[in-house]
Amino acid sequence: MPTFFDYLLLTIITIFPVLSLGIMLFFSFVIAPTVHKFIPAVQAGLYVRKLFPIYYIVNATLSAVSLIAILSLGVFNTILYANIIILVLFAFCYFYLMPTINKQKVKDNNKFKILHGSSIIINFVQIILSATITVILLDF
């Protein structure tokens, strides 16, 4: 018979990936484009560079807590592996890609464009994986 703790873990597994998906979609399709549309480029860049660390930390925390809950229940399926990939990508973006992009932005060169494009692709992959988790969870 499931305990209260089991139900709590299931709730975390269900809500946290969906919450992270919502944050990623809102940031990608509302915040970033709106900031660049209504704020001058220099200030928009500074603002977005201040937001990204928060974005990565919040989403990585949601992924990590969800991953802990999944492992606590002993679930080894697509949800686990998708969560691991999402968490690793957030860590990669936070610790490597974001600082490298910020350094290249100052130089304003082609490497910045490549790195920025990489971050967009990674974000898109994370959105697809989070949407996959959500679809799988809807089947429970």
pLDDT band for 30, please (50, 70, 90 cuts).
Answer: very high
Predicted confidence at residue 106, as pLDDT, reads 67
Q: How far is CA 76 from CA 73, 80, 82, 97, in A?
A: 9, 6, 11, 29
pLDDT at 45: 84
Question: Considering its fold, how many domains does the chain have in total?
Answer: 1
Give me the pLDDT at residue 71, please. Answer: 95
Those residues with Cβ within 8 angstroms of residue 130's Cβ, 6 or more apart along the chain or in another chain: 17, 18, 20, 21, 24, 82, 86
Percent of all residues in the chain with a pLDDT value above 70, rounded to a whole number: 98
For the stretch 93-133, pLDDT in tens is 999 999 999 888 767 688 888 999 999 999 999 999 999 99
Q: Which domain holds residue 132?
A: 4-138
Comparing 32-36, 80-84, 90-94, the range with the smallest average pLDDT is 32-36
Number of C-beta neighbours around residue 79 at 10 A: 22
Can you give the pLDDT at residue 36?
Answer: 86
Report whether pLDDT(40) > 70. yes
Nearest Cα residue to 10 out of 66, 64, 77, 86: 66
Q: With 80 as the cut, is the pLDDT of residue 140 above it?
A: no
User: Which pairs with CB-CB distance under 8 Å and at least 24 residues apart come from 59-65?
Assistant: 59/20, 59/23, 59/24, 59/86, 59/90, 59/126, 60/87, 60/90, 60/91, 60/94, 62/16, 62/17, 62/19, 62/20, 62/23, 63/16, 63/17, 63/20, 63/87, 63/90, 65/12, 65/16
- 3 state DSSP class of 114: helix
4-26 helix and 41-73 helix, angle to the nearest 10 degrees: 160
Percent of residues, the chain, with pLDDT higher than 90: 72
